[in-house]
Amino acid sequence: MIHTFTDFGPNGPYLGQMIAVLRRLAPEVPVIDLLNDAPAFESRLSAYLLAALMARIEPSDIVLAIVDPGVGTARQPLAIEVDGRWLVGPDNGLFELVLRRAESARTHAIAWRPVELSPSFHGRDLFAPVAADLARGQTAKLAPASPRRFADWPDDLAAIVYVDRYGNAMTGMRAEAMPEDGTLRVGADCLARARVFGEVPPGQAFCYVNALGLIEIAMNGASAAERLGLSLGMSVTPGHQARA
Please determine, for residue 125, whether its predicted confidence score (pLDDT) is greater than 90: yes
What domain range is 231 assigned to? Answer: 157-240
The answer to whether position 149 is within a domain reads no
pLDDT tens readout for residues 129-157: 999 999 999 999 999 999 999 999 999 99
Structurally, how many domains does the chain consist of? 2
Give me the pLDDT at residue 240, please.
Answer: 67
**Residue 180: pLDDT band by 50, 70, 90 thresholds?**
confident
DSSP label at 235?
Answer: B
**Residue 165 and residue 59 in one domain:** no
Query: For position 129, which CATH number holds?
Result: 3.40.50.10790
Amino acid at 58: E
Give me the pLDDT at residue 42, please.
Answer: 98
**Residue 177 and residue 116 in one domain:** no
Give 183's strand partners: 192, 239
**Residue 14 and residue 129 in one domain:** yes
**Residue 84 and residue 203 in one domain:** no
**Residue 241: pLDDT band by 50, 70, 90 thresholds?**
low
The answer to whether position 152 is within a domain reads no
**Residue 244: pLDDT band by 50, 70, 90 thresholds?**
very low
**Residue 117 and residue 228 in one domain:** no
**Residue 113 and residue 20 in one domain:** yes
Give me the pLDDT at residue 239, please.
Answer: 81
Supply the pTM of this predicted model. 0.95
* Helical spans, DSSP H, in the chain: 14-25, 43-53, 96-101, 122, 128-135, 224-228
Q: Given strand 157-163, what is the order of strands in its sheet?
A: 157-163, 169-174, 214-219, 205-209
**Residue 167 and residue 103 in one domain:** no
The answer to whether position 150 is within a domain reads no
**Residue 212 and residue 103 in one domain:** no
Amino acid at 5: F
Give me the pLDDT at residue 181, please.
Answer: 86
**Residue 91 and residue 19 in one domain:** yes
Please determine, for residue 50, whether its predicted confidence score (pLDDT) is greater than 70: yes
Q: Which of 100, 120, 144 marks a domain boundary? A: 144
Give me the pLDDT at residue 126, please.
Answer: 98
pLDDT tens readout for residues 51-74: 999 999 999 999 999 999 999 999
Query: For position 187, which CATH number holds?
Result: 2.40.30.90
